[in-house]
C-alpha cells in the first residue's frame, strides 16, 4: 500500500514548490553557492534576515558577488559559502526551500577526500544539472574506482528527516594480490580476507544496486545477517569505506587482522556456507519479521480484496525501521501504535512464493526490470498487476500461496504478506512487542 508518510512528503514537496512561486522569499537560492535578494539589500540586511542574529558569516564566505556599486550599497547577489552549523540556524522556511534543489552548499562536505577528481567533478556537474533535486531522488550512480579498488557508488536520496543527502562508498579490491601484500598476512589469511571483503561487495551490491536500499541501511542489514562474531572485521570495513584507497586503508585492514582473524577463521571453517548473504540464501531458514500497526489492526484485514502490492493479507517487513514508520500511520488515543517482532522458519509460512531468494527470484527480477525503469517505486495496483501477470506465466495466482516474500520497491527492504489467518495468529501468539 502507498505509505502515508511518502504521500505527505510528496505533497509537502509540491506545496513548498508552489509556495516558492506564489510567495517568494526575499532571499532564495541561486545555483550551488549563491543566493539572490529580491528586492536588493545590503550585506548586513541579508545576514540579519537569513540568520536572525544566530550566525554572522565572515565576508570571505558571505559577500556581494558580483559587487554592484559600493560595498555598503544594496546588492542583488551574494556568495553563499556557509558552514553546516550556520546553515542549521538559518530561517526554517529558507532552509526548506533551499534543500528542494539538492544538497548544494553542503556538497563539498559530503564528498570524501579519497574521491578521484574526475568523479568529484562529475558529481558536482550532476548536482548543478538538478540530478539531486528532491523530486528526482533516489538517484544511484556508479563510477570506475582507482585500481585495485572496485567501483565507486554514489547514492543520492533523503534521510530520515526528508533532507537530501549523498552516501558514497568504494567496493573493496577483488584481487588476491592486494590482500597477500598486507603486512603480517599469510597466504591462508589473505584468502580469507579476500573472501570476507568480496562477500561484503556482493552483499552491498545486492541491497544497494539491486534492491535500491540506502547504503547506511544496507550496512546495518549486513551486520545483522553476518552476526556479532565478525563485528571486528565489519568495523574495519566501515573504516576503510570512509578512508578509501591507498596505503592508509591497507594499514586499517591490517590493524584489524590480529584481533579478528583467529575468530573469523574458526567460525568460517565451521560455517563456511553461512558467512555471506549470498551463501546464506540457499540455507537461511529463520526469518525475523516486524509488523508496525495499531492494536486493533494487528491481525490485518485478511478478507478485503484490495490491490495492495502482494494482494490481501497481513503484511510484515524484515526491516524494523520500515515497520516503525507504518506503526505511526493510524494510531489514536483509543487505538495505540504497536510494533511486534516474530521469528519464523520458512516451514512455518506454509506454501511460500519467495521472490527475493527463492527459485523464481531471478526470473522475477528479469520480468520486473522493464517495469521498474518506468515506475521505480512500484507500489499498489501497478505492483499487483505486474505480479499477477508474472504468476500467469507460471500458471499460478496469488491465492495459490500462503505467504509471499517480495521486494519493497517503495520503502526498500523486503515485505512479507501472509494470507492464511491461522499462520498469522500462530506467529503473533509466539511473537513479542518491542519498543517503538
106 DSSP assignment: G
More confident residue, 216 or 390: 390
Q: How far apart are CA 288 and CA 408, in angstroms?
A: 16
| The pLDDT value given to residue 358 | 81
- Among the ranges 184-198, 219-233, 353-367, which has the highest mean pLDDT value? 353-367
Could you give the angle at the alpha carbon of 126 between the alpha carbons of 92 and 248, nearest 5°?
95
In this predicted model, what pLDDT tens digit does every residue of 294-341 receive, in sequence order? Answer: 888 877 755 555 678 998 899 999 888 888 888 888 888 888 888 888
Confidence of residue 390 (pLDDT cuts 50, 70, 90): very high
Task: Tell me the sheet residues that pair with 268.
Answer: none
CB 275 within 8 A of CB 268: yes
- Mean of all residue pLDDT scores within the chain: 76
pTM for the whole structure: 0.41
Q: Which of 428, 414, 223 is nearest to 341 (CA)?
A: 428
Measured CA to CA, the distance from residue 65 to residue 73 in angstroms comes to 13
Asked whether residue 11 carries a pLDDT value surpassing 60, the answer given is no
In DSSP terms, which residues pair with 417 in a beta bridge? 315, 404
Using the predicted structure, report yes or no on whether residue 234 has a pLDDT greater than 90.
no
Residue 80 has pLDDT above 80, yes or no: yes
User: Tell me, what's the pLDDT at 75?
Assistant: 94
In Å, how far are 70, 223, 302, 315, 421 from 293, measured between CA atoms? 62, 26, 15, 10, 17
Place of cell 507500489: 379
E strands in 346-420: 352-354, 403-407, 414-418
First vs last C-alpha separation in the chain: 21
Amino acid at each position: 500500500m502507498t505509505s502515508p508518510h511518502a504521500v505527505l512528503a510528496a505533497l509537502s514537496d509540491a506545496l513548498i514548490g508552489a509556495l516558492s512561486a506564489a510567495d517568494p522569499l526575499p532571499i532564495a537560492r541561486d545555483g550551488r553557492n549563491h543566493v539572490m535578494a529580491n528586492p536588493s539589500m545590503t550585506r548586513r540586511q541579508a545576514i540579519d534576515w537569513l540568520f536572525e542574529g544566530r550566525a554572522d558569516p565572515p565576508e570571505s564566505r558571505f559577500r556581494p558577488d558580483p559587487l554592484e556599486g559600493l560595498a555598503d550599497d544594496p546588492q542583488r547577489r551574494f556568495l553563499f559559502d556557509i558552514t553546516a552549523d550556520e546553515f542549521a540556524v538559518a530561517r526554517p522556511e529558507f532552509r526548506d526551500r533551499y534543500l528542494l534543489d539538492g544538497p548544494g552548499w553542503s556538497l563539498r562536505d559530503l564528498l570524501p577526500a579519497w574521491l578521484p577528481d574526475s568523479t568529484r567533478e562529475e558529481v558536482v556537474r550532476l548536482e548543478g544539472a538538478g540530478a539531486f533535486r528532491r523530486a528526482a531522488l533516489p538517484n544511484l550512480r556508479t563510477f570506475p574506482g582507482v585500481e585495485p579498488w572496485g567501483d565507486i557508488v554514489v547514492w543520492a536520496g533523503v534521510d530520515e528527516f526528508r533532507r537530501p543527502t549523498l552516501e558514497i562508498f568504494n567496493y573493496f579490491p577483488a584481487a588476491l594480490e592486494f590482500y597477500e601484500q598486507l603486512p603480517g598476512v599469510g597466504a591462508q589469511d589473505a584468502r580469507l580476507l579476500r573472501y570476507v571483503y568480496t562477500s561484503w561487495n556482493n552483499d552491498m551490491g545486492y541491497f544497494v544496486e539491486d534492491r535500491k536500499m540506502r547504503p547506511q541501511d544496507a550496512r546495518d542489514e549486513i551486520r545483522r545477517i553476518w552476526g556479532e562474531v565478525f563485528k571486528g572485521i565489519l568495523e574495519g570495513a566501515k573504516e576503510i569505506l570512509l578512508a578509501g584507497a591507498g596505503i592508509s586503508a591497507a594499514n586499517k585492514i591490517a590493524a584489524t587482522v590480529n584481533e579478528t582473524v583467529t575468530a573469523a577463521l574458526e567460525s568460517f571453517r565451521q560455517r563456511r556456507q553461512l558467512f555471506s548473504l549470498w551463501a546464506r540464501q540457499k540455507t537461511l531458514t529463520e526469518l525475523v519479521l516486524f509488523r508496525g500497526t495499531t492494536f486493533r489492526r494487528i491481525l490485518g484485514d485478511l478478507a478485503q480484496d484490495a490491490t495492495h502490492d502482494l494482494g490481501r493479507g497481513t503484511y510484515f517487513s524484515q526491516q524494523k525501521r520500515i515497520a516503525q514508520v507504518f506503526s505511526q500511520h493510524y494510531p489514536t488515543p483509543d487505538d495505540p501504535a504497536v510494533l511486534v517482532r516474530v521469528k519464523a522458519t520458512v516451514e512455518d509460512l506454509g506454501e511460500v512464493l519467495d521472490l527475493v531468494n527463492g527459485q523464481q527470484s531471478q526470473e522475477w527480477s528479469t520480468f520486473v526490470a522493464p517495469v521498474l525503469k518506468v515506475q521505480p517505486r512500484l507500489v499498489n495496483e501497478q505492483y499487483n498487476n505486474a505480479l499477477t501477470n508474472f504468476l500467469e506465466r507460471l500458471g499460478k495466482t496469488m491465492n495459490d500461496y500462503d505467504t509471499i516474500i517480495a521486494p519493497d520497491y517503495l520503502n526498500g527492504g523486503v515485505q512479507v504478506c501472509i494470507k492464511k489467518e491461522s499462520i498469522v495468529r500462530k506467529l503473533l501468539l509466539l511473537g513479542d512487542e518491542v519498543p517503538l
